[in-house]
Structure 1
Amino acid sequence: MTFLIVIVFLALLFDFINGFHDTANAIATSVSTKALKPRVAIFMAAILNFIGAMLFDGVAKNVGGSIANPLHIEHGMEIVAAALISAIFWNLLTWYLGIPSSSSHTLIGSLAGAVIAGAGNGAIHWAGFQKIVLGLILSPVLAFVLGFIMLTLIRWVVVLLGNRSPGKVNRTFRLMQIASAGLQSFSHGANDAQKAMGIIVFALVAGGFQDGMHVPLWVKIAAATAMGLGTSIGGWKIIETVSRKIIKIEPMNGFASDLTSIAILQGGTAMGLPLSTTHVITSAIIGTGSAVRFKSINWGVVGKMILTWVITIPISFGVAYLIYNLIFKLIL
């Protein structure tokens, strides 16, 4: 029971860090275009993240059971602890560097590495692992394409509506961004907070505290609260990168980026797939920016981000593998 309490604390700490690490995803466009003041945007995001986290559990069940079956592996609680320590380390490192990395990637990579270290290759459900990784890889590609199409269609509609001053168009889309930022925050909570829920459920089953992969109410409340509190702090370094360093975001393409990421995140949540909010919204911003002017994007910053995306899973895998072997095998 003491070890379970430690694991729940680590999972909620991961969720808390995820909250301020990924706050930029929900509010970067609205802050950049001045549709919302930063503190107002963060407060709204915190509340809607909490609500979104409370209403869904399909992603939690997938994270908790698709990579490995906690009923059929030994040392399951030690495996979860190693995975969480690894994921927290990577999230804090990328936050410190101001790089919008993926909490989903680091958790999935860390859990796979810890499972193999603690229970061997045969304990991994490779089909489930591949399905999750495929979703994580394809979602930013889809976000880029859909963002490009979304902005092109919106610009076409604006032209059809007749001659309007740029100022009036911007004011209209700033107002619309208030709603889209709210939906973006809700979608973030609905998908991202469930990852911590899933890892807690994994530990509960592995420790013999429950039999199935259902998510207890107290787990939902705890994870939603941790996510909301983390979001309320705000990850200013990452907000700066996403909102200003990729491209100058105008209200129209900010709104199109929000709509794109909302559609993809809600689709992933409906299918129970853990998606990277970071990758989705950033790719949507790049897609809408490309529809305006391809050369206006800061491809140097984008290149660094993509490199981080590529290395997150293997590095997290390796770190979790080492943590399990060094701490839970040698020391304990």
Structure 2
Amino acid sequence: MSAELIVLVLVIVVALAFDFTNGFHDTANAMATSIATGALTPRRAVALSAVLNLVGAFLSIEVALTVTNSVIDIQAPDGSPRPELIGDGGLSLLVVILAGLVGAILWNVVTWLLGLPSSSSHALFGGLIGATVASLGWDGVKWVGDGSGLDGVVGKVVLPAVMSPAIAIIVAAVGTALVYKITQGVAKRYRERGFRWGQIGSASLVSLAHGTNDAQKTMGIITLALIATGHWADTGNVPFWVKASCAMAIALGTYLGGWRIIRTLGKGLVEISSPQGMAAESASAAVILTASHMGFAISTTHVATGSILGSGVGRRADVRWGVAGRMVIAWLITLPMAAIAGAITWWVGRLFGGGGLAAVVMTAILVAACGWMFLHSRRRPVNRHNVNAEWEDGTADGLAQESSAATRTEVER
């Protein structure tokens, strides 16, 4: 087996691992409010979200094409393939992609451990950008594409990252205010009961939208790796087996449930009512689906968090701005921290020759680091049994220090 094939297999496996972490990291985006209000039980919520993520992954490939064509500049200024990336059978490009994936997964797992709803999308783009800059320099990144500002990293990633949460906050705030104004004469218990049914529909739509955006990113990565090694040549399409495997990976991750982040979004920002939850989910779905249609690789985490904040503003509820501040800090540092991790991973790979051995070493480091963080998470597990416990402001996860023995020993699942 050639070095190129070994590294290609590792890239595909690690890419699917990233897709898996994307699933459990972002389950909260769709289901946190429904779980918090009791519209769905925790296990039913993640099961429903997993199925709809699976379906949504097949509905579009626009975001996948953005990842394939709008981040790493594989062409030299004269339009020919970059020999430093493609000249060795694509091995150099594969190592760059693998280093970027390792950086993205490490940041995803760190923020999951801390219960911070950071962006899996920005972790991925940050990891790729860092590894590319380390390998090729700053001109190796396709910053503005054709120069119009509507392509490349700036147009497809940075601008949507700034605009999407702001739009979600506004839409959710207006929607929540209208909902409460229209239903102000309805008894609270009837209003809550009716909107809980509505939440099931709106949360389902967010899950479907999540599949159309986030699952696509891993499809784009694997397709780029196949193009690098000559196993695929159509830059305007994605192989069916890639779609199917990415859809399954993100669905499985979603089903396992990222309970730490679900807790932060569902209980940490604001106490959510059913009308408020439905307004937040509807705003998230509208923004995500619009962005997916336009090929914008937005952060569904930013959108969902913005919608929840907006719903709290629209209801004039007490927002825990300290928790929101920690989230914003995580937003701001996600891309640069993942970029640093990706760059360091690439340099480690270079120490081992930058080929097959380097890829094995990078993968081993990833497995060891993730294994350590998983074992560390078992000291204070958050699971479906305590995800809706009352929020304690004095701790990062909002859980009282004197948790029960059963809670301490149960593994998050």
- Shorter-chain TM range is over 0.9
Partner of 1:174: 196
Contact preservation (8 Å) 2:175, 2:314 = no
- What residue in structure 2 maps to residue 89 of structure 1? 106
Please name the residue that 2:395 is paired with.
none
Q: Which runs of 5+ in 2 are unaligned?
A: 76-80, 86-91, 145-151, 355-413
TM-score by length of 2: 0.78
Q: Is the 2:54–2:247 Cα contact (8 Å) retained in structure 1?
A: yes
Q: Is the 8 A contact 1:147 1:257 kept in 2?
A: yes
Question: How far off is 1:331 after superposition?
Answer: 4.4
Q: Is the 8 A contact 1:63 1:195 kept in 2?
A: yes
Deviation of 1:290 (Å): 0.9
Distance (Å, rounded) in 1 between the aligned partners of 2:8 and 2:338? 22
Q: 1: distance between equivalents of 2:100 and 2:351?
A: 14
- Specify which of 250, 268, 273 is matched with residue 273 of structure 2: 250
Deviation at 1:7, TM superposition (A): 0.3
2:153 paired residue number: 129
Once residues 76 and 137 of structure 1 are traced to their aligned partners in structure 2, the CA distance between those partners, rounded to angstroms, is 29
SS of the aligned residue for 1:54 comes to coil
Of structures 1 and 2, the one scoring higher in RCO (CA 8 A, sep 6+) is 1
Rounded Cα–Cα distance in structure 1 between residues aligned with 2:57 and 2:74 = 23
**Residue equivalent to 2:296:** 273
The equivalent of 2:96 in structure 1 is 79
CA distance in 2, matches of 1:40, 1:190: 21
Matched pairs, number: 328
- Quote the residue 1:8 is aligned against: 12
Q: Deviations over 1:248-278 (max 9, x none)?
A: 0000110000000000000000001111111
Matched ranges for 1:50-129 at <5 A: 50-70=54-74, 72-73=81-82, 74=85, 75-127=92-144, 128-129=152-153
The answer (yes or no) to whether the contact 1:49–1:189 under 8 Å persists in 2 is yes
In the alignment, the residues of structure 1 paired with residue 27 and residue 170 of structure 2 have an alpha-carbon distance, to the nearest angstrom, of 23
> Any gaps of 5 or more consecutive residues in structure 1?
none
CA deviations on 1:3-42 (whole Å, 9 max, x unpaired) are 1111000000000011111111110010011000010011
**In structure 2, C-alpha distance between the alignment counterparts of 1:38 and 1:308, rounded to whole Å:** 25
State the Cα distance separating 1:95 from its structure 2 match: 0.5
Distance 1:235 1:10 in 2: 19
2:398 — aligned with what?
none
Superposed, 1:1-332 pairs within 5 Å as 1-70=5-74, 72-73=81-82, 74=85, 75-127=92-144, 128-131=152-155, 132-159=157-184, 163-213=185-235, 214-293=237-316, 296-332=318-354
* Aligned counterparts of 2:187 and 2:57: Cα–Cα separation in 1: 40
Query: Once structures 1 and 2 are overlaid, which stretch shifts more, 115-124 or 136-145?
Result: 115-124
CA displacement at 1:193 relative to structure 2: 0.5
Q: Which has the higher helix share?
A: 1
Q: Give yes or no for contact 2:74–2:140 (8 Å, CA) kept in 1.
A: no
Which residue identity does 2:294 align to in structure 1?
Answer: M
User: How far apart are 1:330 and its partner, in Å?
Assistant: 4.8
SS in structure 2 of the partner of residue 22 of structure 1: helix
C-alpha separation in 2, matches of 1:62 and 1:255: 30
Cα deviations by residue, 1:268-319 (Å, 9 ceiling, x for unpaired): 000011111111011100011011225x000010000000000011111111
2: CA distance between counterparts of 1:317 and 1:133? 14
Structure-2 separation of matches of 1:328 and 1:40: 46
Rounded to whole Å, the distance in 1 between the matches of 2:280 and 2:29 is 10
Select the structure of larger CA radius of gyration.
2
Q: Distance in 1 between matches of 2:29 and 2:127?
A: 22
TM-score normalised to the size of structure 1? 0.96
Q: How far 1:69 sits from its partner (Å)?
A: 3.5
Q: Check whether the contact 1:261–1:281 (CA below 8 A) recurs between aligned residues.
A: yes
Deviates more, 1:143-152 or 1:243-252: 143-152
Shift of 1:157: 2.4
CA RMSD of aligned residues (A): 1.2
2:55 corresponds to which letter in structure 1? I
Please report how far the alpha carbon of residue 152 of structure 1 lies from its aligned counterpart in structure 2 after TM superposition. 1.6
Percent identity among equivalent residues?
Answer: 40
Runs of 4 or more, structure 1, over 4 Å off, are none
Distance 1:305 1:157 in 2: 32
